[in-house]
Structure 1
């Protein structure tokens, strides 16, 4: 009734394999809520809600997404809402974005219609941050 198949037949059948771990991006779906910090060495696409800081190589944020925390990325393309500071070498803020926090950037693009409530600070790569007064505000210094 049950017969054994020859060994050569068993070896020729497709074998399910685990996914390769060399993934180049991660996706957080629109139905996902994460409470905690995220650190990724690869690109990150966020459509869900994050309550914590994000640090990654590249961030793409979907329109319906919400991030409540600081964002640090080499490049960031924001389309949803962010409540927290943003630091990126190359930053693109799309018209659907709603940002509440300070923005630090090397290169910046803002589409007409985007809302940003906070301060903008251009970062100069390799330059030391300006001195700050005791109250934490930047000091005005004159070049000599």
Structure 2
């Protein structure tokens, strides 16, 4: 309405647009659990768990355990990193540790050292082996176990 003094209500933030930030020049030690996205431009040491995305900026550093759905890093990460879906290493990224991912994208110049594990393929192999063992069991009537 023209000339109205009523303010329209602000839309409620959704998990897609809410970002928890640790700014450049800020350090955090401890446990951070979130339903939303997290951006690190400062220093984080500890455990970070989110159902959303983790973005590590060029000045960002993480040391510890990270568990998330998606991760994109331009900075440094060290420790145990579990990314259930896509893990993107930008050209300036330096990652070291035990790294598990669903998909991996690495730009030229990025550094990754340690152990890298493709988790979705491991799950597929295990479930296929179990299905094959169950088929054999139903055909022969004898239970067989499969070692993976």
Instruction: Tell whether the structures are fold-level matches, with TM greater than 0.5.
Output: yes
Q: CA deviation at 1:44?
A: 0.9
Q: 1:21 to 1:83 in 2, by over 3 A?
A: same
Q: Which residue of 2 aligns with 1:96?
A: 92
Gaps in structure 1 of 5+ consecutive residues = 1-11, 131-140
Q: 1:119 maps to what in 2? A: 115
Match of 1:41 in 2: 35
Q: 2-side partners of 1:59 and 1:95: how far apart?
A: 17
Residue 79 of structure 1 corresponds to 74
In the alignment of these two chains, the number of paired residues is 119
State the Cα deviation string for residues 53-105 of structure 1 (Å, max 9, x = none).
Answer: 11111111101111011111100001111110111121001111111102111
Higher-Rg structure is: 1
Q: Structure 1: how far apart are the matches of 2:41 and 2:73?
A: 11
More strand by share: 2
User: What is the CA-CA distance between 1:127 and the residue it aligns to?
Assistant: 2.2
Aligned to 1:9: none
Q: Per residue, is there more helix in 1 or in 2? A: 2
Structure 2 residue ranges without an equivalent (≥5):
127-146
1:106 aligns with 2:102: yes
Distance 2:6 2:69 in 1: 44
Q: What is the TM-score normalised by the length of structure 1?
A: 0.71
Q: Which residue of 2 aligns with 1:25?
A: 19
* TM-score (normalizing by structure 2): 0.70
